[in-house]
Chain A
């Protein structure tokens, strides 16, 4: 580590913490104050010209906002909370960031060190609680530990496969005075963030790709996290390989790219799912073969040779055995492969995707996007958004039917534009994440698409929007049901709609209470105009669209079925 000239004599741990954040380039944090973190908030007050603190209305909102911020900006999101309930309220967001590889540093206050273990007021073992859902965590009990631990925290959160780090800091350590100096962490001896690429494996994989008759690419968020978007496009264009996205890989390539063949997974497109079981070579780029992507593993791509480009060694062979594992940053491995692969077009093979897309269009997409029935569909709302954003918006989705529909139909022309809770499936993610997403990319249009269920899980964050005037657009697709669970009840539980029907409040009135312009659409004729107004505004906007109550999302791979058994109805 190089010695930094930054020296501060005899400052408090709390002030040192602020200097650490500033040294790491942090200018925005999300949080909620409370007893055990008050010394830090006192310093935030003094440093408010350099470091903006956004007061969310619940600590969970702070973590999701930090996630949204991280995912549009590419920087580390920071959330801060007090001890006890403040800390436990962070856990859902931390778990979400862990499973979706989002770089985040969470700071929690803790009771004074002499009280640890005494069941003091607002004491909770947040280190113990957060251990399984953090990339790393640490409890600071002495001010002198602060610089080293914070530099490690930021290094760990953003390097390699990113993830959340939690730093718990006792109140006495926040008050304690010490001489501060800071140097950035550039390595930890027990941690290798990016594995060395095996050049022999590159050669073998290139040969396999060159000999493939029916190669297929599935790309995930690793492409976005590794900033490998252009490398992927170059690789795909040279090899002519049809490529599909996972939910978190969406927006890494423009959706209308001629080689983009759609989404894989449970509610993905018909062609890419079926042809997964027909391809002869499957190139997985920065993805982890989640069960929502693979369906039944024993029948997943058994005929194909698997090439897996992956930064995390623990993902190799975890779910799907890789014949050619290529460890490393996919930006590097894709560009190495690019030199060794032959130009190709695979036209006949690609035609198969087109044929299946036609079948899906007739059976599903047409009815979703240009419906003939009276009730509004979620699909046509997304199409309306596409019309007015021209694919240049950040779409933040929650979890459920609306999420699947948005990820199927939303168009993107830029990377880092699809923000959703993929791995954990956290309802309530979208509203706070959209606040963070907008702050991470202030020049971009940010639209939160949320169901009526998830919206009410973090609806209190309307207060954050009200106070900060963050110009997010909130679109609630209201079917008065927990739609995805209802769909499963209809298909697999003989229509026993146990606790999925919602008696909803007047969402428009609620938004008005927060001084947010709000509107409701019940009929098709009003849809485009309302979406246009929402998109064109420079202010926060709320739009509720009342959609058909019992629509289902198709295609669908039933839980535990094979990808090739995908159903169109």
Chain B
């Protein structure tokens, strides 16, 4: 394998139908797998933010991000290594309620892993854990023996340590027109 590095692509864009397709087509065309993907409103009104995690060699990530930024509806795209970002993922674990009462040990697991119980019902309860991939994965491994009814993990969300000048780009456009 080439020297793949995990990169987080942060993309600020207009909220238009079809942009997701356009971005994923750029990755598809280059045979790049998406490790994780999430989208949400950004700090700027009416501007959306995509957070995409890919594993690529350094010389490739720059070209891919240039292609993404070239898209008309993309305001700006950045890429960062893990060291340059603060990132988290959230996982939900659905477990049989009976095991919570019958297996005292499971309560210790929840406490020690700093997970939260989101809901409890007679049949099941749901645990939430936010953290790094290894942490949510570790909790999954620990809960598995007790019968994990469902498990799901969100895409990575991340903020960068450095400033991103998206508002400045938009303001300079406003001032020109």
| Interface residues, chain A, with chain B CB atoms under 8 Å away | 1, 127-128, 131-132, 135-139, 156, 186-191, 312-314, 316-318
User: Are A190 and B29 in contact (CB-based, < 8 A)?
Assistant: no
A189 touching B72 by the CB < 8 A rule? Answer: no
Count, A-B residue pairs, CB within 8 A = 54
Flag if A314 contacts B63 (CB, 8 Å).
yes
Indicate if the CB atoms of B66 and A136 lie closer than 8 Å. Answer: no
Which 3 pairs from chain A and chain B are nearest by CB?
A314-B66, A132-B25, A190-B75
In the complex, A316 Cα to B29 Cα: how many Å?
19
Q: A131-B18, A131-B22, A187-B176 in contact; A318/B72 too (CB < 8 A)?
A: no
Judge whether B75 and A189 touch: CB under 8 Å: yes
Of listed B13, B63, B74, residue having the most chain A CB within 10 A: B63
**B16 contact set on A, CB distance < 8 A:** 138
Which residue in A132, A190, A316, A317 is a CB contact (below 8 Å) of B73?
A190
Smallest CB-CB separation from B59: which chain A residue? A317
User: What residues of A have a CB within 8 angstroms of the CB of B75 in the complex?
Assistant: 189-190
Are A188 and B18 in contact (CB-based, < 8 A)?
Answer: no
Q: Is the CB of B72 within 8 A of A128?
A: no
Closest to B170 in A: A189
A318 to B62, CA, bound (A): 9
Pick from B21, B63, B177: contact of A131, CB under 8 Å: B21
Q: Is the CB of A313 within 8 A of B66?
A: yes
Contact present for B25 and A131 (CB under 8 Å): yes
Quote the shortest CB–CB distance from B31 to chain A (angstroms).
13
Determine whether B67 belongs to the interface, using a CB cutoff of 8 Å to chain A.
yes
Contacts A131-B21, A186-B177 aside, 16 further interface pairs with beta carbons under 8 A come to A1-B177, A127-B21, A131-B25, A135-B72, A137-B18, A139-B17, A156-B72, A188-B72, A189-B170, A190-B14, A190-B74, A191-B72, A312-B70, A316-B66, A317-B63, A318-B66
List which B1-37 residues lie within 8 A (CB) of chain A: 13-14, 16-18, 21-22, 25-26, 28-29
Chain A residues near B62 (CB, 8 Å)?
A: 317
* Contact B29 A127, beta carbon cutoff 8 Å: no
CB closest residue in chain A, given B13: A190
Q: For residue B70, which residues in chain A have a CB less than 8 angstroms away from its CB?
A: 312-314
Report A-chain residues with C-beta under 8 Å of the C-beta of B74: 190
A437 to chain B, nearest CB (A): 28
| A168 to B: closest C-beta gap in Å | 10
Minimum C-beta distance from A161 to chain B (A): 9
Please report the total number of B residues contacting A with Cβ < 8 Å: 27
On B, residues with C-beta under 8 Å from A are 13-14, 16-18, 21-22, 25-26, 28-29, 62-63, 66-67, 69-70, 72-75, 169-170, 173-174, 176-177
Chain A interface mostly: mixed
| Residues on B with beta carbons closer than 8 Å to the beta carbon of A191 | 72-73
Q: Is the CB of A187 within 8 A of B177?
A: yes
Chain A nearest CB, measured from B13 CB (Å): 7
| Bound CA span A507–B45, Å | 63
Q: Which residues of B contact A312 (CB under 8 A)?
A: 70
- Taking a contact as CB atoms closer than 8 A, the residue among B18, B63, B174, B176 that contacts A127 in the complex is B18
Give 22 CB contacts A-B under 8 Å: A127-B18, A131-B21, A131-B22, A131-B25, A132-B22, A132-B25, A132-B29, A136-B72, A138-B16, A139-B17, A139-B18, A187-B176, A188-B72, A189-B75, A189-B169, A189-B173, A190-B72, A190-B73, A191-B72, A314-B63, A314-B70, A318-B66
Q: Which residues of A contact B170 (CB under 8 A)?
A: 189
Cα A136 to Cα B73 in complex, Å, equals: 9
Give chain B nearest CB distance to A446 CB in angstroms.
Answer: 33
Q: How far is the CA of A212 from the CA of B142 in the complex (A)?
A: 67
Given contacts A314-B67, A314-B70, contact A189 B18 (CB under 8 A): no
Q: Report the bound CA distance from A362 to B21 in whole Å.
A: 54
The residue in chain A whose Cβ has the minimal distance to the Cβ of B21 is A131
A316 to B66, CA, bound (A): 9
Given contacts A137-B18, A189-B170, contact A313 B69 (CB under 8 A): yes
A139 and B19 CA atoms in complex are apart in Å by 12
Shortest beta-carbon distance from A159 to chain B in Å:
10
Q: Which residue of A lies closest to B23 (CB)?
A: A131
CA distance A132 to B25 in the complex (A): 6
Q: Please, which residues of chain A bring their CB within 8 A of the CB of B169?
A: 189
Candidate in A1, A132, A136, A314 with the most chain B CB atoms within 10 angstroms: A314
* A162 vs chain B, min Cβ distance (A): 13
Contacts of A135 in B (CB 8 A): 72
A432 to B74, alpha carbons, bound, how many Å?
A: 35
- In the bound assembly, the distance between CA atoms of A258 and B16 in angstroms comes to 51
